[in-house]
Structure 1
Amino acid sequence: MRRLLLTIVLLLSAPATWAEPDAAFLAKRAALQLNAASLALRQADKASDRIAALTRTVQAYESGLVAMRKGMRHAAIREQSLQLEFDAKRDDIAQLLGVLMSMESTSPPLLMLHPAGPIGTARSGMILSEVTPALQAQAEELRGQLEEVALLHSLQQSSAEVLANGLKEVQTARTRLSQAISDRTDLPRKFTEDPVKTAILLDSSETLQGFASGLSHLADDGEREIDLPVFADAKGTLPLPVNGTILRRFDEADAAGIRRPGLLIATRPLSIVTTPWAATIRYRGPLLDYGNVMILEPSDGYLLVLAGLNRVYGEIGEVLQAGAPVGLMGGNAPNNSDFLSLSGDSAGSTRTETLYIELRYGKETLDPEPWFASKPD
């Protein structure tokens, strides 16, 4: 009996490893974010600036969905870890439960008796006094783990509905945003596009640099002066146009050895892209092999190139405020199972779209990364 008890104590003495960060906290906080976004969506149509309200709503949904995915992944991984731990210690746990049940069902006077007489009884009492606290501690640990499994399972079930609603409502918010932009008529215009000049420039340009150099000819002679904030002072303060993670940095070679003077950001399907600074739209549409491109002029001489979008918003010549939506990334909306897939890492496995960011001043290309205050996550 003594050998069995000591063996159980030694085998089960390793402390439990608790999830870090706490999965329940992450999931509950994400649920609050999604519920707040849902409320914002219902109120967006009443906002004085409907486009700005819907843009913030879409961004809130995107942030909440990412947080929900993180929380539910942590919950699923933690539950899986506990199950593997239980499986590995199944025999030891069974022995522990057997001993505890035996001690529970035996009356105290009988536990004090020993066939060897008083000396044996004293020795038995000493063994039990040493082992019982350890057994009790292991029993409490086991109970805590079982309660954690039940909590995690319940959490995943309750979060699934919130997640499904979030994935559905963010699509609704994007649709409403696109409609609001198409209905917009009050943006100031710095100039009116000349379609013939645009077509000629597209046909004659073989590189992004050549196209950017010719953009000044797209404006007609009636270009108006519109005061914009000084862009040169914004270095190090700009928000990122899209949430994502850096795949390639400025002038970094890709797998084929090709270098491009910009940042390549991996982001999630249908992510909203915004202008980080007040700017004039100099060009929007397909360009060379860059896909759909938005070229913004935040200040005279500067051009911000955003390439790889699926949908672009606005018209050439319009002046946008900082934070205004300029387009959406491509890809398909994920379903619940895809969104929560445990395969791959928590970042790259869902960031299937890429946004290319290039910053130009005159004929020079600048490294965009130092201009942003928040680095890609």
Structure 2
Amino acid sequence: MRLALALAATCLAGAALSQDNIAADNARAAADRLAEAAIQLDEAQGARDRVKALSETVHAFESGLEAMRDGLRQAAIREEVLSRELAAREDEIAQLLGVLQSMNSAPSPVLLLHPSGPVGTARSGMILAEVTPALNARANEIRSKLQEVSVLRALQQSAANKLQDGLNGVQEARIALSQAISDRTDLPQRFTEDPVKTALLIASTETLEGFASGLSQIATNETPANLPDIIDRKGALSLPVNGRILRRANEADAAGIARPGIVMATRPRALVSTPAAATLRYSGPLLDYGNVIILEPQSGILMVFAGLDVVYGRTGQVLSAGSPLGLMGGADPDPGALLPRDGQETTTSQTETLYIEVRKDNIPVDPAQWFKTDEG
């Protein structure tokens, strides 16, 4: 009997391990990032380069919202684990509380008496001295987990307000960015687009390859490019949008169609930016690709981004790295839809897709050779 109690005490003590509430800390850190993004938005209004400042602000809000979602997902998972653990141990908890209650309610002299006399009393005292610390440790562990569940639930309940503030902030930043781009007049113009030739090229084009081969026809008064060589950055360019790789080059989709570019899944209204300084060769609708942006970072290399909802910039402009190109489609969900349910991450929240193709001498090459595709 004494051996069994000693073993039980050892098990209880071993189970009473504290665990830092990392999930809650991450969610709080994400809330701080959203607050910092709001401050950044206020500062961007008076920045000398408002387009650059507002682009960084939009990215800051996107990063903060993503971190908040991830923090809440971790919090939901942690709460579910704790709740299931506590539910599975209801009988054990009830017995433990009963033992502790009886120890507290019984007078000390009664606890020290044993029917077999002084020897039994001494033995029971030794056993009790061994078991009591473990029981107390177990009680403290259960109390700590109950408190953690309470904190996690309160955190998730208050998250809707944080998310709403973040969504309002990013929407305000997008509007300000669109206005700043419309007001911008300081970008170098490498050539002027001939709208008639552009319309004729679009009407006569049946493939992206055919359109790309005729891009030079729509430019008038073109000057030589003076952009830095990007060959040495091959494989190190940042992807133009935050998201994940949905399909890689030449990987067939559900309809069995394989394209030479990659497809990225992104969240609605995500900001698309230039991965490197480049000439904006084309901006607008094309074939069945939706709105398309075609960049020329250097002679002979084209980067095609297709599937945007809103496009920025004017054909012929020279854009610096990180310049905003446009926004993905869709609409921002309400805060309740962003809150994870039962710890489930909604990958379906990345409902928009951006197609990325890289062409060298008008021949498609795998974009993975150019971009850090592990970022998504």
TM normalised by structure 2 equals 0.93
The aligned runs of 1:107-186 (5 Å cut-off) are: 107-186=107-186
Cα distance, 1:349 vs. partner? 2.7
Aligned residue in 2 for 1:257: 256
Contact 1:251 1:262 (8 Å CA) reproduced: yes
Task: Tell me, yes or no, if structure 1 residue 240 matches structure 2 residue 239.
Answer: yes
Name the SS for the 1:326 alignment partner: strand
Matched AA of 2:183: D
Matched AA of 1:262: G
- Paired with 1:67 and 1:282, the residues of 2 have a C-alpha distance of 35
Gaps of 5+ in 1: none
Name the SS for the 1:349 alignment partner: helix
Cα distance, 1:21 vs. partner? 8.2
Contact 1:11 1:92 (8 Å CA) reproduced: no
Change (3 A) 1:159 1:17: farther
- Paired with 2:318 and 2:17, the residues of 1 have a C-alpha distance of 54
Aligned residue in 2 for 1:40: 40
Aligned residue in 1 for 2:66: 66
Of residues 28-37 and 154-163 in structure 1, the stretch that sits farther from structure 2 once superposed is 154-163
Aligned residue in 2 for 1:322: 321
Change (3 A) 1:249 1:347: farther
Matched AA of 1:26: N
Task: Tell me, yes or no, if structure 1 residue 336 matches structure 2 residue 335.
Answer: yes
Task: Tell me, yes or no, if structure 1 residue 304 matches structure 2 residue 293.
Answer: no
Q: Which has the higher contact order (CA 8 A, sep 6+)?
A: 2
Aligned residue in 1 for 2:210: 210
- Paired with 2:308 and 2:198, the residues of 1 have a C-alpha distance of 19
Cα distance, 1:167 vs. partner? 1.1
Of residues 10-19 and 300-309 in structure 1, the stretch that sits farther from structure 2 once superposed is 10-19
Aligned residue in 2 for 1:30: 30
The two structures, once aligned, show a CA RMSD in angstroms of 2.4
Matched AA of 2:172: T
Task: Tell me, yes or no, if structure 1 residue 57 matches structure 2 residue 57.
Answer: yes
Contact 2:269 2:328 (8 Å CA) reproduced: yes
Matched AA of 1:363: N
Contact 1:19 1:78 (8 Å CA) reproduced: no
Of residues 165-174 and 14-23 in structure 1, the stretch that sits farther from structure 2 once superposed is 14-23
- Paired with 1:343 and 1:352, the residues of 2 have a C-alpha distance of 21
Change (3 A) 1:17 1:107: closer
Matched AA of 1:71: G
- Paired with 2:144 and 2:343, the residues of 1 have a C-alpha distance of 30
Change (3 A) 1:242 1:90: same
Matched AA of 1:209: E
Name the SS for the 1:372 alignment partner: coil
Contact 2:282 2:315 (8 Å CA) reproduced: yes
Cα distance, 1:147 vs. partner? 2.1
TM normalised by structure 1 equals 0.93
Contact 1:19 1:74 (8 Å CA) reproduced: no
| 1:196-216, Cα deviation, whole Å (9 max, x unpaired) | 111111111111111111111
Q: Identity percentage over the alignment? A: 57
Change (3 A) 1:102 1:79: same
Matched AA of 1:272: L
Gaps of 5+ in 2: none
Aligned residue in 1 for 2:365: 366
| 1:78-122, Cα deviation, whole Å (9 max, x unpaired) | 122212222111121011011101111223222110122223212
| 1:50-86, Cα deviation, whole Å (9 max, x unpaired) | 0000000000000000001111121122122212222
Cα distance, 1:13 vs. partner? 6.9
Cα distance, 1:9 vs. partner? 5.7
Aligned residue in 2 for 1:198: 198
Matched AA of 2:46: K
Change (3 A) 1:86 1:149: same
Task: Tell me, yes or no, if structure 1 residue 357 matches structure 2 residue 363.
Answer: no
Matched AA of 1:168: N
Matched AA of 2:29: R
- Paired with 2:209 and 2:10, the residues of 1 have a C-alpha distance of 70
Cα distance, 1:370 vs. partner? 2.4
Aligned residue in 1 for 2:289: 290
Cα distance, 1:300 vs. partner? 0.9
